[in-house]
Each structure stands twice: as structure tokens, then as C-alpha cells.
Amino acid sequence: MTAAATRPTAGPAPRAAADAPLSRAAVSRRLVRFGRPVLLPLAVSLVCRVVGQLLGVALLGVSAWGVARVASDPSAAIAPVVWTLVALSLVKGVVRYLEQLTGHGVAFKALAMLRVDFYDRLAPQSPAGVLSRRTGDLVNRATKDVDKVEVFFAHTLVPAVSAVVVPAVVLVVLAVGYDPVLALVLLPFLLLVGAVVPAWGRAPSADAATRVRAARGRLAQLVTESLQGVREVLAFGAAGRRRAEARAVADEVGAGLAGLATWTARRRAANAVVVVAAVVTVALVGAARVGAGALDWPTYVVAVVVALAVFTPVLAVEDVAPELEQAFAAARRLWRVTDAAPATTSPADPVRLPDGPLDIRFEGVRFTYPAPETDPDDPAARTPSSVERRPVLTGLDLHVPAGGTTAVVGSSGSGKSTLVNLLTRAWDPDAGRVLLGGVDVRDVSLEDLRRHVAVVGQSTYLFNDTLAANLRLAAPDATDAELEQACRRAALHDAVVAMPDGYQTRVGELGERLSGGQRQRVAIARALLLDAPVLVLDEATSQLDVATEAEIQDALAEAARGRTVLVIAHRPGAVRTADRVLRIDDLTRA
């Protein structure tokens, strides 16, 4: 069973239950399965690391062996030993370079894979899966959690494996080639550094880490709101109070970090002591064995030095262990998003929409928005809403005749925009049906449906690309002449020509280089390029002032010609061109 089975709509689930379905083993298996394309470079990186670390041990072992040889035979040649060490040093450098390079290769490949995979899995859930999540949440998962999983592939897996392989090899060599007793004496110390110390204080550390994350989340929100609400903060002279609040939360972060620091310091001190104790113990036990004649001195010396050298790879576990935990938690959080089922899917045998003008009909439509997902990993979203979900539409009937313009007005919260969401199948109604050209929209493929309905909404998302690229979103094959024609009709062409790069002007992040009116005109031009028989204007001019709105109205009237138009507005002033104006409250069955 995968996380796909735990649908977010299942309602508030207690933390343990939501976390339970994926055991660590299951997470590991799935991660490895996902990481298949990077397994080869990962293996190369691992081999390089293991070889490099073995060379590091050998470097010290050979040094000890050379010293012992000179001790027993002062006339022994030194040069060959030194040249061997030089060769080992150079090879070790090369191997480390290769390890790092392949490691980075894995890192970037994994990052690209994770991001593309996240996008690909989120795409079928769009728009419902994107719109129903909190603003910063998706972005957070898409950045921080993806990065943490990337760290797993790039910087965690290889050190973790080599921390086991290298000491194992060294121990075997020590036991077989030198002295099994000393190998046995060394073993418990390796287990201490590799397993016991990293686990020491893990539970209180995890608690402190959770506290820190929760407090940091609140801090991020406090900072965000201080900036977004800066006008209010300044108007009410609340700057000092906001800063004091931030400091109070920061103190919580600090307390958590101090707790973590204590445990980290304890583990590092323990490791330092254990390593030295291991070498001392091996030296003392070895000395006794030499005294008893069970061991010759040169072998003893090599064993003591190797006992020190073998800890280098094992010490990495202390750093890697928490990263492993974080990567697993991040993977679970990512999958909770990517495994969610789409709110709507195309039917197996789609019906084609008829050609020509299409009418729209809502029949007894009931709809309640699904409860927002409760997320055990996000403290802020953990508390399930105690508020009863209120139905937005309760048995709505509406007919928009083909080729005419029908306006629906109503106060905010009355469900006007829900009409658009149901018509374009962001969601499906709980009861009743939505017909387009007489066909239930659930029987039409999503692609076909979206080709037939163009929506101009309240705000327009523009990609950080050229104006032309943003326009071609609606018609990838449109020629420059077609773009120009659409922009002329949307009263945008003159403004575009006045821009330094014309249609090749980059619109900036979130289209920041265009004014609100220009962005809406881009949306209209896009709708014209899509050339869909149905046009929905959802508060398309609500963000604009009277004069700009009046200008856009002309463009909208142009766009409406020959199409079925549904206009949604909260003030009747915006719908002067409609054939009929309906109040949404009047459309609901008693």
C-alpha cells in the first residue's frame, strides 16, 4: 500500500495514523525505486568513496609498517615506502575527485528528477489540487522538501553505506591478516560510534527539532504578515510590538536550538572520547599480547594505527543520521501531495462536444468544497476546522443560451466563481449536472472541455517569459500575425509596440512589468487566440478603475462576438452589455 490510499479528503486524521502507512523500509524502497536512473553514478560514487577511505587507512597503515620495519632493521630502505605513500596520496586525490564529481552529478540529476516528477504528478491534480492549498505550502514543499530528498541521494546514501563497508573490510583484513583478538576488541567501539552514539538522545533531539520547525513556521508567517501588512503596522504604530512578538518566537527557536546543540555537543564529545579510548584499549590489549608473545611488535603497531584510521568513515554517521530522518520526513510530505487523487479525470470513453455554438446548463447543482487537507507535518494546518462545511450551491439551475451573453451577479461568497470551477471541471458537483452543448461535462475529455471554454478571471497569471510566449500558451502554433491580430482586438497591440522589445518583451516575475489593465488585456488576447465557443468572464474587470474598465469593455465586447458568454460580477455596473442579468440567489431551488 502506498500513500495514494490515504486520500486527504478522508478528513482529519490523528498524527500517528497519518504517518503510519509508510514505514521507513517502505520509504527507503520507494526512494531507491525512484532513484533508479541515478543508481549507476551513485554506485560509482560509492566505489570511489570506499576506495578513497580504504586508501586513507592504507596510508596510515603503510606509514606504521614502514616505521616498524626501520625499527627492526635500521638499514631498511626508506625511499620505497615514501614513494608508495606518494602514490597512495595521489590516487586518493583522484578517487576523491571522482567521488565528488559523480556525487554532484547525482545531486543535480536527482534534483531535476524530483522537481520534474513533482510537477508531473501535480499537473493532473490541477487546478483543484493547486487552488485548494495554502499559498506558501506548495512552494515550500516544492523547494525545501525536494531539496531534503535531494540531499538523501547526493550526500547521505553514499556516506551511510561506506560507513558500514569500509570498517567491515578493515576489520576483516585486521582479523585475518593481523590479529583477530584486536579486531574483536575494536568492534564494540566501532558499533558505539556508528550506531549507539548517533542514536543517543535521538528522541529529545527530534522533539526539539519539531519545536524549532514549528516556531520557525510561525516566524516565517510573522515576517510575511509584517511585510504584507506593513501599511497597517505603520498606521497603528505597531512596529515595536511586531518586533517584540518576533523576538519572543525567536527565543523559542533559540531554546530549541540550544537543546539540539547540547545533544550534538554530547554526541561529538562522546565520539571523540570513544575514538581515543578505542586506540588506547587496542594499544593496551596489544601490549599485553606482545608481552605474552602472541603478537609481534610490527603487527601490533600497524593494528594500533589502523584502529585509529578506521574511525574516519564511521564518524560521518553522526552527521548523516539526522539528514536521513529529515529526508524520510520530507519524502512523506512530498508524497502526501503528489499521491493525492485528482479531483476530476477524463472519462474512459469521452463524448466529443458538438461543433458550433454551445449552450450551458446547470441542473440542480449542489456543491460543497472539500475540507482542506489536515497535515500532520504542518503544525499550522494540523488543527482540523471545527466549522461545518457549508454548501456553496444548493440545487442551482441556470441556462446560458448559445450565442448570447448572460450575466450572473451576487454578493461575495454566493458561489458565483464556483460556477466557473464546475463548468471547467476543477471540481465536479456533489449532485445535479453541468451540461455544455447538451453534453454532461463529465462525459467530455478534460482537454476537449478546456479547448471549448476560455476563462478570463480576476487576476491573470503570466509566466516569467516573453509576451509572445505567454500569448502562445493559448495557441502554440499561432503566427506572429495572428498574435498581433488578437492583441489589436484586445486593445493591447499599441501598448506592446511601445515596449522596447515589442512582443519579445519579457514580462518579469508574475508579470510585474505590465500594469493590471495590460495583464487583463493579455488574458483577453489569450482567450481570443484560444478561439473557444464559450467565454467566461469571472470578475474580469473588478481590479480596474472606471476608465480602464471602460476600455477593456470594448475589447471584451469584441471577444464576445459570436460566442456564448457567461459574465460573473458582483456589481451590475460591470455587465452593461449582457442580454440578461440574473441574480444568483434567484437561481437556487427553494
- At its nearest, how many Å lie between other proteins and the CB of residue 468? 15
Beta bridge partner(s), residue 365: 396
Burial degree of 375 (CB within 10 A; 0-12, 13-18, 19+): buried
Q: What span, in angstroms and rounded, lies between the C-alpha atoms of 259 and 257?
A: 5
C-alpha cell at position 587: 437561481
Using CA atoms, how far residue 247 sits from 239, 257, 258, in Å, is 12, 15, 16
Chosen residue from 6, 8, 109, 393 binding other proteins by CB under 8 A: 109
Is position 570 an interface residue for other proteins (rule: CB under 8 A)? yes
Tell me if residue 348 falls in helix, strand or coil: coil
Each residue 27-56 as x (binds other proteins by CB under 8 A) or -, in order, gives: -----------------------------x
Chain positions 423 to 482 lying near other proteins, rule: CB under 8 A, are: 424, 446-447, 450-451, 455, 460-464, 473-474, 476
When binding is defined by CB under 8 A, the residue of 264, 345, 346, 505 that contacts other proteins is: 264
Stretch that binds other proteins, among 17-25, 125-133, 166-174, 490-498 (CB under 8 A): 125-133
Cβ proximity to other proteins: between 61 and 432 the closer is: 61
Q: Which residues pair with 561 in a beta bridge?
A: none
Confirm or reject binding of residue 314 to other proteins (CB under 8 A).
no
Helices 311-338 and 157-173: crossing angle in degrees, nearest 10, is 150
Contact present, 553 and 576 (Cβ < 8 Å):
yes
Q: Is the CB of 89 or the CB of 504 nearer to other proteins?
A: 89
Q: Is there binding between residue 131 and other proteins (CB under 8 A)? A: yes
Bridge partners of 396, per DSSP, are: 365, 588
C-alpha cell at 481: 500575425
CA quadruple 115, 121, 123, 128: dihedral sign = negative
142: exposed, middle or buried (Cβ count in 10 Å: 0-12, 13-18, 19+): middle
Backbone angles phi and psi of 175, in degrees to 5:
-70, -45
Q: Which is nearer to other proteins, 17 or 280 (CB)?
A: 280
Contacts (CB under 8 A) with other proteins, residues 272-291: 272-273, 276-277, 279-280, 283-284, 286-287, 290-291
**Can you read off the three cell numbers belonging to residue 267?**
554526541
Q: Is 508 in the site for other proteins (CB under 8 A)?
A: yes
Exactly one of 18, 38, 190, 304 binds other proteins (CB under 8 A); that residue is 304
Cβ–Cβ < 8 Å for 55, 84 = no
- Residue 292 within binding range of other proteins, rule CB under 8 A: no
Binding to other proteins in span 332-361, by CB under 8 A: none
Q: Judge contact between 569 and 407, C-beta under 8 A.
A: yes
Nearer to other proteins, 6 or 374 (CB): 374
Q: Which of residues 218-257 bind other proteins (CB under 8 A)?
A: 219-221, 223-239, 241-243, 246-247, 250-251, 253-257
Report 387-406 residues binding other proteins (CB under 8 A): 387
Output the CA torsion sign for 131, 135, 140, 142. positive
Stretch that binds other proteins, among 89-97, 195-203, 391-399, 478-486 (CB under 8 A): 89-97
Cell 523559542, residue located: 252
**Using CB under 8 A, which residues numbered 533 to 552 contact other proteins?**
542, 544-548, 550-551
Find the part of the chain contacting other proteins (CB under 8 A) among 23-31, 60-68, 165-173, 431-439: 60-68
582 sits near other proteins (criterion: CB under 8 A): no
